[in-house]
Amino acid sequence: MKKFFYKIICVSLIGFYCFKSNQVQSLVPYYYLPTIKNLQEESLSIGKNAYQLLYFGQYKQSLNLAKLAVKINKGDEKLWLILSEAQLANKLYKNALNSLNKAQKINSKNSEIYFAKSNIYLKISQFENAKRSLETGLKIEPNNHKAIFQKGNILLMEKNYSEAIELFDKSIKIKPDFWQAINNQGLAYFEKNDINLSIKFFEKAISIEDNAEPLLGLASCLRIKDINLAIQLAKKSLNKNPNYVRYDYRKEQLWGEKLQASTEILLQNDQLQRDIILAKSKINASS
């Protein structure tokens, strides 16, 4: 009988110990401490989300996320680049340049930093700084067709049409379907009074991309030669992008004085007045 009671006591004590042990373990708090790798991955994910918001035009939300990504990981130049784009979209030009300077300190061999700087300098009309930044970036990445095109645009703004055409041609050789550079050759040739070549390049751009800009450019070229076709092209252009009815908008697209004057005359045609009124109403509705 004593042995029996002894066994019961032993079993009870063992059970009690196990129960207490489990109970204690269940009360011990568990903390997750993220590793540096986890934090870096999380910051890149936030940065990608910020970039996507930029694409969808949610500029303020993008800026907030980009700031958060940089706070988590200050050592990645890609995140500083994203932050600078968000700041640029919010017209915080000085802040955007500061972000790019920080990115440059991290990795001075990243050509995108210099191309981004150039874009900001253009926004604030610092053409020489824009040109220098592009040239620095092109030393690192000499076959970047977009950067070559942008340098051509600066020369176009400076009315250096011959050198601008050469750079547009160089970018097209790298990317033959780069219709924007082909279109801008049309802009440059019109200012050089070579209307036939201007027509040729606008037509070539349209064959690649049926875009509002070369359509209206071609219409302005044909205003005297074939007014009916010019009106048809102008109607199509304004329907695609009503902003081209505005002088200031065309100026932002680097249209020169001669092409602007020809376009203004074309847009005074009676057959285009309904299209112009409709274009302006669309602009007002979207603003």
Q: How far apart are CA 113 and CA 148, in angstroms?
A: 15
Q: How far apart are CA 124 and CA 79, in angstroms?
A: 23
* H/E run at residue 21: helix 2-27
Confirm whether 146 is domain-assigned. no
pLDDT of the residue at 29: 59
32-71 burial: b if 16+ Cβ within 10 Å, else e: eeeeeeeebeebbebbebbbebbeeebbeebbebbbbbbe
Confirm whether 200 is domain-assigned. yes
pTM of the predicted protein model: 0.82
Could you read off the pLDDT tens digit of each residue along the chain, which spans 287 residues?
Answer: 444 444 443 444 444 444 444 444 445 555 555 676 776 778 888 988 998 999 899 999 999 999 999 999 999 999 999 999 999 999 999 999 999 999 999 999 999 999 999 999 999 999 999 999 999 999 999 999 999 999 999 999 999 999 999 999 999 999 999 999 999 999 999 999 999 999 999 999 999 999 999 999 999 999 999 999 999 999 999 999 999 999 999 999 999 999 999 999 999 999 999 999 999 999 999 87
Both structure tokens of 59: 């500029």
86 DSSP 8-state letter: H
∠ CA 50-56-59, rounded to 5° = 55
The CATH number given to whatever domain includes residue 241 is 1.25.40.10
Confirm whether 24 is domain-assigned. no
Confirm whether 171 is domain-assigned. no
> In a 3-state reduction of DSSP, which class is residue 126?
coil
175 DSSP 8-state letter: S
Confirm if 181 and 149 have CB atoms less than 8 A apart.
Answer: yes
Confirm whether 83 is domain-assigned. no
What is the domain extent for residue 237? Answer: 177-287
Q: Specify the number of domains making up the chain.
A: 1
Confirm whether 52 is domain-assigned. no
Residue whose entry in the numeric block shows the structure tokens 């802009």: 187
∠ CA 14-19-24, rounded to 5° = 125
Confirm whether 143 is domain-assigned. no
Confirm whether 202 is domain-assigned. yes
DSSP code string of 45-65 = HHHHHHHHHHHTT-HHHHHHH
